[in-house]
Structure formats: C-alpha cells, structure tokens
Amino acid sequence: MTHHKANLFIVGAMKAGTTSLMDILARQDAIYASPIKEPHYFTEELPEILYEPSRFFSLKGYFDKEFPKPLHIAKVQSEEQYQKLFSLRKDEKYLLEASTMYLHHPGVAQKIAAYNPEAKIIILKRDPLERTFSHYRMLIGLSRENRSFEEVISEEIKKYHQGTLPWYSYIGMSFYKKAIAEYKKYFKEVLVLDFQTFVSQREKALKILEEFLQVPLQNTDFDASGLNKTRTPKFQKLFFFLKRLGVKDYFSAIFSSKLKQRVYVLLSSDKKEKPNLKSETYNTLQEIFLRES
C-alpha cells in the first residue's frame, strides 16, 4: 500500500477560526481533510485541561469500527493510525489536518519538518486578549475551569514573571512571535492569516489562501456569526462539580447528541461577555502581549 503524507497543516492558534477554515478547505476538490480534525499526532502527551476524552472513548475502537466518521479531536498514537487518516484519499493535491496545539507545543515544528519538510503551514492569529478570553470561556463551557478571569490571569502573570508559565496556559497560547519564528525556521512556506481578516474581509482572505495554495477555492460560503461562539453554563459551579464526579461522561454515553445539545442550550446562556479585569491586571497583560505577540 502506498502511504501518502500530510502536506498541509493548520497549526493554530486555538480559538482563532481554525475549525471554520478547516471546513472551507475540506470542501475543496484539491484537498483531502483528515476525518479527525485535530489528531495531534506530533505532540507528546496533551495536558488534561485541553484534552480530556470521555472514559468511554476508545481510539482503537474508533479506528476499528467508526472510521472515517468525523471526529473533532483525539491523540493519535501510532504511525499506522496516522496513515489511516489519509488512506481514503484519491488524487487530491493536499492532505490536510488542523491540530491547534501544534503551534505552541514544544518541538512539534521540528517533528513535522522531519516527517515532511515540503509541507505548507497555515497559522491563524487573533487579538491576544480576545483569544485568551475565548479560550477561558471555552473551558468554562466544558466545565474544566471554575475560577474568575481575573484570578486566572493574575496567577498566569505571576508565573510569566517567574518563568514557570506552561506553554498551554491561557496567555501562553496567545504568544505568537516565537511560535511563528519556529515554523518559519523549518518551513519555506508559512502563511500567517489574521482572524479579523478571515471574518470581516472574507474575499481578501480567500484570495490570500488561493495564492498560497495555488488552487482555486470553491463553495466557500460560511456563516461567521457563530464563529468561536461559546455558551456559558448558568449553573457554573454545579456543572464543574458534576464534571469532577464524572457524571458528564455517563450522560454523554447514554443520551443522543441532539438531546444533549437541547439540554445544554436550556442550561446555558449565549450572552456575549467581555473580559473583566482590574486596570492594573489589564495593563500588565497588555504589556506582556506587546512583547510576546
């Protein structure tokens, strides 16, 4: 069997429009997209705060019985599994995947370069504070976070100054300069696209993508109104407590996706929120972003 290598990677940033971009590119005749949007094959162990699969999920079971059913995120372990993601390709020019932790995870750029040095890399940037807050609200919605935004950012600023801030932190994943430089060190073709351009100047963004990929992009209509939109649980502490007890896993295993979605809509709010930070915290954070992003 001939094994075809992935040659197009959307490496992040998380909460910067990668899912919508993946959806657009996956509809193109010249592009075959991995059924697992984020396989994270080139990462080491993923932090639990960002990847916490249900206790009932089996990656082996997925590949044995459910492949190629679309799946948003996983941690693909073996070369055989990764090759299988692209085994259904026909004659597409590009084989695409979009693991958003690739941008900041240490050593990933070098590993992808060792796998395929001719690959093309797409990076989506977003305003650092907006991305950080969207990341925070996502984890609140997943019941993986229970602190206030002020508490979270104050703690991370302390760790930043102490030199102990982990790469997967809220503000750390909004640091772009070093991450982009790392990819440009290993790859000849790296496209950095701004989230705001992608959302509000779609035609301009698509022309940039066409030029970069050297293929026409068709069927590119998408609704940007819900892009990176996150719902917030109305009973945040209760949801967090039930998540710690493992109740969510059992609920997800027993009930259908439609029912789960209906229940979650009833017990959550889509009210638009803004970052609530003290003036001192906000100013310090913006100084850090100015240096790092």
- The pLDDT tens digits for 218-272 are 877 755 555 556 666 665 666 555 556 565 566 566 656 676 567 556 656 676 7
pLDDT above 70 as % of the chain: 82
Task: Output the domain CATH number for residue 63.
Answer: 3.40.50.300
Query: 169 vs 232, which has greater pLDDT?
Result: 169
pLDDT of 195 above 50:
yes
Q: How confident is the model at residue 292 (pLDDT cuts 50, 70, 90)?
A: very high
pLDDT at 4: 85
Q: How confident is the model at residue 1 (pLDDT cuts 50, 70, 90)?
A: very low
> At 112, which helix (H) or strand (E)?
helix 108-115
The residue segments making up the domain with residue 222 are 8-133+170-227
Number of domains composing the chain: 1
* DSSP per residue, 24-89: HHHTSTTEEE-SEEE--TTSSSPPTTT----TT--HHHIIIIITTS-EEE----SHHHHHHTTTT-
Domain-located, residue 263:
no
Mean pLDDT value of segment 175-196: 98
Domain-located, residue 223:
yes
Cβ(96)–Cβ(33) under 8 Å? yes
- The pLDDT tens digits for 86-96 are 999 999 999 99
Domain-located, residue 62:
yes
Query: Average per-residue pLDDT in the chain?
Result: 90
Domain-located, residue 270:
no
pTM for the full predicted model: 0.90
Domain-located, residue 281:
no
Work out the angle at residue 102's Cα, subtended by the Cα atoms of residues 27 and 33, and round it to the nearest 5 degrees: 20
Q: How far is CA 101 from CA 34, 38, 111, 152, 288, in A?
A: 16, 9, 13, 20, 21
Domain-located, residue 180:
yes
Domain-located, residue 214:
yes
Query: 265 vs 176, which has greater pLDDT?
Result: 176
Domain-located, residue 261:
no
Q: d(Cα 69, Cα 97) in Å, to the nearest integer? A: 15
Query: 39 vs 45, which has greater pLDDT?
Result: 39
Q: d(Cα 6, Cα 199) in Å, to the nearest integer? A: 26
